[in-house]
Amino acid sequence: MFVDQVKVYVKAGDGGNGIVAFRREIYVPMGGPAGGDGGDGGDIIFEVDEGLNTLMDFRYQKHFKARRGENGMGKGMHGKNAEPLVLSVPPGTTVRDVRTGVVIADLIEHKQRAVIAKGGRGGRGNIRFATAKNPAPEIAENGEPGVERDIQIELKLIADVGLVGFPSVGKSTLLSVVSAAKPKIADYHFTTLSPNLGVVDTADQRSFVLADLPGLIEGAHEGVGLGHQFLRHVERTRVILHVIDMAGTEGRDPYQDYKTINQELEQYDPTLLERPQIIAANKMDLPEAEDQLALFKEQLEEDYPVFPISTVTKEGIRELLFAVANKLDEIPKNYQPIEEKEDRVIYRFEKEDKGFQITRDPDGAYVLLGEKIEKLFKMTDMTREESIQRFSRQLRGMGVDEALRQRGAEDGDTVRLLDYEFEFME
Ligand SMILES: Nc1nc2c(ncn2[C@@H]2O[C@H](COP(=O)(O)OP(=O)(O)OP(=O)(O)O)[C@@H](O)[C@H]2O)c(=O)[nH]1
Ligand SMILES: [Mg+2]
């Protein structure tokens, strides 16, 4: 089973809570503050495992949660940080935030890692709030919530060479002849339903990865046949190996086939045609092939090299592999990771974000919403007076009081924030 696109939900661990504690010492009625910080919540991390080539592991499990940090302890002891949750993905995995559409990570090299959701910072214990004025603060911070997000994971296989062509032209047979891969081969269309990878070793000890892709037909770029989703896997190949049934076995015209496939590639992504292309004129063992090849060469306008081969007699295969390896040697191994960077976008987003919004409930209550204000709230220990006071100062600092007043709030009006309700007071 091959899976190359999947949506999942990830939630990094919340930070542990900081605590309020005091030293108990003989002769000292009330010792100094001794509440330690909470540990950090676990990150969700993706790591490339080159042994994988499908996202199948994400097919059944769609929710991933990392553990929360341990709460702080007395005697100033820090709670333990939670271990990250590390999930393995194949090379060529792209991760996108569903809400913003932004690419979070593009993972290519073996062992490469990316933090997909950052664990929350541990809350600070009361030691950290001690000042000259308030040497024994009864205040501690709850842990910061871990980042949660819906993500779209997409795989674009990384292969050096991609086999493209109409169905039944012999792509899978070629892969089976030049590598140890054992793809399904048959004389009906769309025998290959998902990509197969094989490692090819040339006679002069060079090697490259060859991807056998499902056959393309007219309209593939719009999703006809197995189309679109597999064209995606051509994107990261450095050389396109275009296989043509030169015997026109099914009564088709080889040159017309060639044109159609290239049009599909172009319509999917025009830069695909700038990529080096090598033509494998297959089925040369069949009687019609010689004449067709001569005609094809006359019609061909592009200066792509043409290699007559037969996967049955193995004629021409050796030369074809040398040509592919030579071409690969000329091109730098540069996978061009996807360029958008999340930092840039987040920055833009935060600039516009005031940190909160005000709406009203049907009963007239004012409702505060927004990522920043909700986070501050979650990090506040609402059972302690001093924490609540600190929270009110933070809200004032963000301009919340001012904004409420502008919306018409008066003393005694109800204000809601998540599951908490308080009275507006100037
Ligand atoms: N005579 C002859 N037949 C061939 C040659 N190469 C492949 N075939 C036959 O062509 C048919 C299709 O081969 P496949 O390798 O399955 O074709 P494909 O391009 O992978 O097809 P899809 O997976 O459907 O896109 C099979 O019956 C093969 O035996 C060849 O060089 N000569
Ligand atoms: Mg096939």
CA 299 / ligand 1 centre spacing (Å): 24
Distances (CA, A) of 400 to 316, 357, 376, 407, 415: 76, 9, 13, 11, 11
3-state secondary structure of 327: helix
pLDDT at 411 over 80: yes
Q: Is 287 in the pocket of ligand 1 (CB under 6 A)?
A: no
The pLDDT of residue 334 is 60
The pLDDT of residue 88 is 96
Nearest CA-CA partner of 243 in 301, 173, 177: 173
* Residue 355 marked as a ligand binder: no
d(CA 211, CA 233) in angstroms, rounded, equals: 9
Helix (H) or strand (E) holding 298: helix 289-299
Q: Is 17 in the pocket of ligand 1 (CB under 6 A)?
A: no
The pLDDT of residue 336 is 55
pLDDT in tens, 12-59: 999 999 999 998 776 666 678 999 999 999 999 999 998 888 898 898
pLDDT tier for residue 348 given thresholds of 50, 70 and 90: very low
Q: Is 196 in the pocket of ligand 1 (CB under 6 A)?
A: no
Nearest-atom index, ligand 1, CA of 169: 19
The residues facing 66 across adjacent strands are none
Q: Is 420 in the pocket of ligand 1 (CB under 6 A)?
A: no
For residue 218, what are the contacts with CB-CB under 8 A and spacing of at least 6? 224, 260, 264
Q: Is 183 in the pocket of ligand 1 (CB under 6 A)?
A: no
CA 186 / ligand 1 centre spacing (Å): 6
- CA 216, 237, 345: angle at the middle one, nearest 5? 105
Domains, the chain, ordered by start:
1-155 (2.70.210.12), 161-330 (3.40.50.300), 357-423 (3.30.300.350)
| Ligand (nearest to CA of 246) | 1
* Residue 254 marked as a ligand binder: no
Q: Is 310 in the pocket of ligand 1 (CB under 6 A)?
A: yes
Q: What is the DSSP string of 173-192?
A: HHHHHHBS------SSTT--
pLDDT tier for residue 340 given thresholds of 50, 70 and 90: very low
Sign, Cα dihedral of 274, 278, 283, 288: positive
What pTM was estimated for this model as a whole? 0.76
The DSSP call for residue 299 is: H
Contact at 8 Å (CB) between 183 and 196?
yes
> Which of 16-30, 187-201, 217-231, 280-294 is the most confident on average?
280-294
The alpha carbons of the chain give a radius of gyration, in whole angstroms, of 31
The residue whose CA is least distant from atom 1 of ligand 1 is 283
Mean per-residue pLDDT for 147-151? 96
pLDDT tier for residue 226 given thresholds of 50, 70 and 90: confident
pLDDT in tens, 246-268: 999 888 899 999 999 999 999 99
d(CA 261, CA 273) in angstroms, rounded, equals: 11
The residue whose CA is least distant from atom 2 of ligand 1 is 283
Helix (H) or strand (E) holding 417: strand 414-417
Nearest CA-CA partner of 113 in 83, 136, 99, 93: 93
For residue 370, what are the contacts with CB-CB under 8 A and spacing of at least 6? 353, 354, 355, 356, 357
d(CA 203, CA 180) in angstroms, rounded, equals: 15
pLDDT tier for residue 72 given thresholds of 50, 70 and 90: very high
Pocket test for ligand 1, best of 166, 173, 193 (most atoms within 8 A of CB): 173
Nearest-atom index, ligand 1, CA of 311: 31
Q: Give the dihedral of Cα atoms 283, 210, 156, 106; nearest 10 deg.
A: -160
- CA 213, 215, 216: angle at the middle one, nearest 5? 115
For residue 8, what are the contacts with CB-CB under 8 A and spacing of at least 6? 58, 61, 62, 63, 64, 150, 151, 153
For residue 300, what are the contacts with CB-CB under 8 A and spacing of at least 6? 255, 258, 279, 306
* Residue 207 marked as a ligand binder: no
Which residue type sits at 426? E
Which residue type sits at 395? L
Q: For residue 224, how far is the Cα from the chain centroid? A: 26
Which residue type sits at 262? N
